Amino acid sequence: MTTEIVSPRQTTAAARGIASGASILFAVALFASVASVGVPSDATDAELLAWWQDSGNQTATLVSMFCAITAAISFAAVANHLRTLVSVGSGPHHLARFAHVMATAYTVTLLVTAAVRGVIGYQVKVAGEPVPDVSVLRYSTSLGYTLLDNVTMTTLALSIFTLSLAILKTGVLSRWVAIGGIACAVIITAAITATVGAFAIPLALLWAVGTAIAVWRPAAA
């Protein structure tokens, strides 16, 4: 009895199109989430309170939250498609399983980050609660940056690395996207070590665009 191996080109155009579109959406949503709001981390108490009392800034935190939620869902869709591809490949399947675990961890941590970024704006704009005192605002700001710069970026780097390594071992997509993903993951990890993980987000966006192209136009089987 033989097992038929399904190549990327044998996957339906719809599946490839959804995964490719999800990868682009992930890049756009992640960029929008980070770019839409910038809570001052080194502001005085008066400056921080004034920032949060601004209605436009409160709305921006809600936009950032929903963009992060969109990015998390989109990444899950991309990771699921890639896992399906590498699971039917000829390489070691334990990489696919570990990549799935790390992708799940990233999705969860990004959703938590989204909640932290939007909780105060939601409470004030939607629930009608007053702006919290400065100590709460400062703690929320610090927690948000800590989650994004360290926890979320670490799980993202591990997700990209394991997915890329699985692609490289199985050959289900073009070699260039696997090597590029590994390089991006290593640089992101270095940035996290230097406590500037958020500054490596453009590399994650680059990986997402490259993945979208590779998924849509897979290498010949």
Tens-place pLDDT, residues 26-38: 999 999 999 998 8
* Tens digit of each residue's pLDDT (9 = 90 or more) over 67-123: 999 999 999 999 999 988 887 655 566 777 888 899 999 999 999 999 999 999 999
At 89 the pLDDT is 59
pLDDT of residue 39: 80
d(CA 79, CA 132): 38
Spatial CB neighbours of 93, under 8 Å, sequence gap ≥ 6: 86, 87
Give pLDDT, residue 21: 96
Q: What is the per-residue pLDDT across 12-28, written as a single tens digit (0 to 9) for each? A: 788 889 999 999 999 99
**Residues 68, 16 contacting (CB under 8 angstroms):** no
Separation of alpha carbons 54 and 121, rounded Å = 10
Please state, as a whole number, how many other Cβ atoms lie within 10 Å of the Cβ of residue 189: 19
What is the widest separation between alpha-carbon atoms in the chain?
73
Chain mean pLDDT for the chain: 89
What's the confidence (pLDDT) of residue 84? Answer: 86
pLDDT computed for residue 219 by the predictor? 59
Token pair listed for 169? 């071992």
**With 60 as the cut, is the pLDDT of residue 8 above it?**
no
CA dihedral 83, 89, 94, 96 (to 10 degrees): -10
Let me know: does 134 contact 48? Beta carbons within 8 Å: yes
